[in-house]
Amino acid sequence: MGIVRKTKAVKILLDLFDNGFSAISAVDLVERLKDEMNKTTVYRALDRLEDDGIVHSFVGKSGLKWYAKCKSSCTADHHNDVHPHFECKKCKKVMCLPVEVTIPNIPNHTIDNTAVFITGICDNCND
Amino acid sequence: MGIVRKTKAVKILLDLFDNGFSAISAVDLVERLKDEMNKTTVYRALDRLEDDGIVHSFVGKSGLKWYAKCKSSCTADHHNDVHPHFECKKCKKVMCLPVEVTIPNIPNHTIDNTAVFITGICDNCND
DNA sequence: TGTATTAACGCAACTAAAATGCATTAAATT
DNA sequence: AATTTAATGCATTTTAGTTGCGTTAATACA
């Protein structure tokens, strides 16, 4: 369960997440890191980082898996900080939105997890 | 563009959607209809049905593509009736929720589309 | 109602994301 | 420094979905 060893791969990944990616897809990471580590390593390291609540994942509109660093202290089974993810159809960037989305109460349903995925045009492209 | 001919495949699909599926994944449809039509046919017919605003699609938590029949009159480019989709982790069923979800205003962002995917336990399994 | 047109189909092959098995390597622990 | 085993690399596999192409069948029209 979770990260046990601070390997080179894990350090590189954490460094990438710290240096400004709001969110990045697994595919992008594999491509970007192809000279530094095997794609299997990327997938497995991301899995462990997610297990430890260091990053969270979500699927984009196309079904691709995206990763972003957690803000608050999330754990394996408890992800606080549930925020929408936004994909700009112009610059293709995906980012976490620091906004609260409230889901109306649904009778007799137990809500476990809510994922909100928004597409549109981001502030940067909206000038 | 869209459905032009009422083929056997299209009729079978529409019949399935009418007879009680709240939502069904493409994979499930391919499996369920494997004796009646080719998987390529399933994918292509679903594409056309979606183009015509007869069904809508969304990606589940695992990245699989799901389809459900549209309630209101949706067209190719305009899907009214944007509702959350709910996956029960017990019975694995996915359904459309007849609820409004309001996304808070996000400064300088143009919102194009919003997908809300909720996981939890449905009313049927919650007894 | 028969014939022509072409959308839709079936099949095989392909693509891309992600997972798996296994031998090897390198963190951590002593 | 030696030991332990988590983590890695590489090859292979799995799975969802797509594409090309020859054939079939739904529609239109004579």
Q: How far is CA B14 from CA A53, B21, B59, in A?
A: 42, 10, 20
A79 part of a folded domain: yes
Task: State residue A108's pLDDT score.
Answer: 94
Task: State residue B74's pLDDT score.
Answer: 64
CA of B5, C1' of C4: distance in angstroms: 17
Domain CATH for B19: 1.10.10.10
A110 part of a folded domain: yes
CB-nearest to B112 from A62, A89, A100 is: A89
Choice between B37 and B2, residue whose per-residue pLDDT is larger: B37
Choice between B121 and B19, residue whose per-residue pLDDT is larger: B121
A59 part of a folded domain: yes
For residues B7 and B36, the answer to whether their CB atoms sit within 8 Å is no
Task: State residue B77's pLDDT score.
Answer: 61
A25 part of a folded domain: yes
**Tens digit of each residue's pLDDT (9 = 90 or more) over A48-79:** 999 999 999 999 999 999 999 987 656 666 66
Gap from B77 CA to chain A (nearest CA, Å): 14
A127 part of a folded domain: no
Contact B97 A112 (CB under 8 A): no
A38 part of a folded domain: yes
> Looking at beta carbons, which residues of chain B come within 8 Å of A64?
63
Q: Is the CB of A43 under 7 A from strand C?
A: yes
Q: What is the CA radius of gyration of chain B?
A: 16
Task: State residue B120's pLDDT score.
Answer: 94
B3 part of a folded domain: no
For residues B90 and B121, the answer to whether their CB atoms sit within 8 Å is yes
B46-49: Cβ within 8 A, 24+ apart: B46/B13, B48/B2, B48/B3, B48/B10, B49/B3, B49/B10, B49/B13, B49/B14
DSSP, residue by residue, B52-95:
TTSEEEEE-TTS-EEEEE-SS---SS-------EEEETTT--EE
Burial of A45 (0-12, 13-18, 19+ CB in 10 A): buried
Task: State residue B82's pLDDT score.
Answer: 74
The pLDDT of B54-81, averaged and rounded, is 82
**Tens digit of each residue's pLDDT (9 = 90 or more) over B15-55:** 999 986 789 999 999 999 999 999 999 999 999 999 999 99
Q: Is the pLDDT of residue B59 over 90?
A: yes
Gap from B80 CA to chain A (nearest CA, Å): 15
Residue B96 domain boundaries? 8-120
Choice between B87 and B104, residue whose per-residue pLDDT is larger: B87
Q: Provide the domain count of chain B.
A: 1
A31 part of a folded domain: yes
What letter would DSSP give residue A105?
P
Nucleotides on strand C with an atom closer than 7 A to protein CB?
7-12, 16-21, 26-28
CA of B55, C1' of C3: distance in angstroms: 35
CA of A112, C1' of C26: distance in angstroms: 39
Which protein residue lies nearest to nucleotide D9, measured between its Cα and the C1' atom?
A38
Residue B84 C-beta-side C-alpha neighbours within 13 Å: 26
